[in-house]
A and B are shown apart, each in its own frame.
Chain A
Amino acid sequence: MSKNNSKNGNGSGEGRSSAESFEIKVGLAEMMKGGVIMDVTTAEQAKIAEEAGACAVMALERVPADIRKEGGVARMCSIEIIEGIQRTVSIPVMAKVRIGHFAEARVLEQLGVDFIDESEVLTPADDAHHIDKHAYRSPFVCGCRDLGEALRRIGEGAAMIRTKGEAGSGNIVEAVRHLRQVNGDIRALTALRPEELASRAKELRAPLELVQRVAEAGCLPVPNFAAGGIATPADAVLCMSLGAEAVFVGSGIFKSEDPARRAAAVVRATTHWNEPEEVLAASRGLGSAMPGIEMETLGEHERLANRGW
């Protein structure tokens, strides 16, 4: 890999100002719009995802459905697996760290991972603080359930937001709830008068400067993707139709009967989300989807979305 080969351009990123650094981080998130990011646990799976047209892969040791089933502490993926995936594919490689685990994040940055997901899917390492994401050259993505949570993460330096949904559930209901909540919160904000924004920021527990920006622009300052429970092409289309700019598919691909086929179908449906005949074609002949979980059967402590503060 060529590193530090750019004199004028500060190719190493060492000389980036913080505003410039943020712009470059959000830039990669912009490039993933309209795409599908797939969870993978091996280099072979990463290859299948790339062949299917994924715009990035997310490396982790166990997909959320298995973390849920097997229990135990879920940590950052092993270095060997991440390196194996980096050697195998040409698309961006993302990886997850535990909430607040800034040392795991340093390791991934050192590995040259393209995006770090500070994720509620792994067991949190800090029950009060998230990572100071401004302090890294790697961009971060974080989950959220509402606008306040999204803006707290952006304030900490996240360059991409994803709604949390309920990972490993195969059930889209939570993803829908969180997408509607975030976008509803944004619409409500745009209707407020300027002097009303300060108290709203307090209610949202979000930085006033970001609340003002969202009220003015009518959208988040970083791309907003959807995650958590997407199992079919139509699930991806539902999220895109509700305003998600791209989708993450976790267990939905590799816990299904025919992963390669389903992966390509979800990509096709995401590209053509507003063309029903394409979505129909993408939905044919996929075999069975991953088994799903009814939300009512999950206790509050079993819900991954409740992690993060």
Chain B
Amino acid sequence: MKVGILAIQGDVEAHAKAVERLGAETAWVRREKDLAGIDALILPGGESTTISKGLERVGLYEPLETFARSGKPVLGTCAGALLLAREIENYPVRSLGLLDLVAVRNAYGTQVNSFAAVPDVIEGRPGPLEGLRCVFIRAPQLRRPGPEVEVLARVDGWPVCVRQGNVLATTFHPELTDDTRIHQLLLEKA
């Protein structure tokens, strides 16, 4: 299995290491042709303004959308989650509109407000991501999810891991910790 990682800017290497730990191959995606032969796609963390401008320049918005609509699994983390949203608030950039929700940039504040946490336990039911250490770096918040959006984890009541069909997103960085549960969720759909 080969996992493509969008390599415009951001923590591409960290995602590659996580994927390789699970025994899959990786490939950098910077052009439409790089999507050929890819079984799953990751949009990494990074600076969403920078990544968005790079996507425009190389003309990758449409190919990425086509890839996702083909049904192959896609994971976006932090900036990657923003790019998947229907709508972005607070300094919006162009997004792919693959997740029916609103993403709010820098919703927690600046880097001094960045934090780590574990998912909420709701009504005593821990859920599949129990105890997952979630590292939030200048993270966005996901708000107003539509009926198709499944919330897999919340922190302080906010959705931090969501899925809509083949599209998975986290506002935290699973690639920065050793827990590979999120990457497993991606690979098991491929």
Nearest CB of chain A from residue B105's CB, rounded to whole Å: 6
Q: A1-31 interface mask toward B, CB cutoff 8 Å, 1 = contact, 0 = none?
A: 1111111111111001000100111011011
Q: B47 contacts A6, CB within 8 Å?
A: no
CB contact list, B65-87 vs A, under 8 A: 78-79
Selected interface stretch from A49-57, A65-73, A163-171, A178-186: A49-57
Cα–Cα, bound, A267→B138 (Å): 22
Interface size class of B (residues with CB under 8 A): 35 or more
B137 touches A53 (CB 8 A): no
Interface centre among B12, B109, B136 (most CB of A within 10 A): B109
Which residues of A from 96 to 136 have beta carbons under 8 Å from B? 109, 112-115
A90 at the interface (CB under 8 A from B): yes
Query: Is B117 part of the binding interface, using a Cβ–Cβ cutoff of 8 Å?
Result: yes
Inter-subunit contact B112/A138 (CB<8 Å) = yes
Q: How far is the CA of A25 from the CA of B136 in the complex (A)?
A: 11
Contact count A vs B, C-beta below 8 Å: 151
Confirm or deny: B11 has a beta carbon within 8 angstroms of a beta carbon on chain A.
Answer: yes
Roughly how many angstroms separate A92 CA and B113 CA in the complex, as a whole number?
13
Q: Report chain A residues within 8 Å CB of B107.
A: 2
- The verdict on A92 contacting B11 (CB below 8 Å), with A6-B108, A6-B117, A27-B114 known, is no
Which residues of chain B are within 8 angstroms of A7 by Cβ–Cβ distance?
A: 156
A122 to B117, CA, bound (A): 37
**Contacting pair A33 B116 (CB below 8 A):** no
1/0 contact trace for A202-231 toward B, CB 8 Å? 000000000000000000000000000000
Q: B36-55: contact bitstring with A at CB < 8 Å (1 yes, 0 no)?
A: 00000000011101100110
- Do residues A92 and B111 form an inter-chain contact, with CB atoms below 8 A? yes
CA distance A280 to B185 in the complex (A): 41
Interface residue from B54, B90, B117, B138 paired with A271 (Cβ < 8 Å)? B54
**Given A31-B46, A54-B50, A1:B156 Cβ within 8 A:** no
Given contacts A13-B113, A27-B176, A28-B137, contact A34 B105 (CB under 8 A): no
How far is A9 from B139 in the complex, measured between Cα atoms in Å?
12
Interface size (A, Cβ < 8 Å)?
A: 50
B135 contacts A24, C-beta separation under 8 Å: yes
- Taking A34-B7, A34-B8, A53-B53 as contacts, is the C-beta distance between A2 and B30 under 8 angstroms? no
With A1-B109, A92-B138 known to touch, is A31 a contact of B155 (CB < 8 Å)? no
**Residues of chain A contacted by B118 (CB below 8 angstroms):** 8
Min C-beta distance of B21 to chain A, whole Å: 16
Q: Report whether B117 and A56 are in contact in the complex, using a CB–CB cutoff of 8 Å.
A: no
Q: Cβ of B97 < 8 Å from any Cβ of A? A: no
The residue of chain B having its C-beta at the shortest distance from the C-beta of A14 within the complex is B115
Q: Is the CB of B12 within 8 A of A34?
A: yes
Given contacts A27-B114, A55-B50, A90-B106, 4 further A-B contacts (CB under 8 A): A9-B115, A9-B136, A24-B115, A55-B9
The 10 closest A-B pairs by CB, nearest first: A9-B117, A90-B91, A114-B111, A55-B47, A112-B110, A53-B53, A30-B11, A34-B9, A27-B137, A9-B115
7 A-B pairs with CB atoms under 8 Å apart are: A8-B155, A33-B46, A34-B12, A56-B47, A109-B112, A114-B110, A272-B30
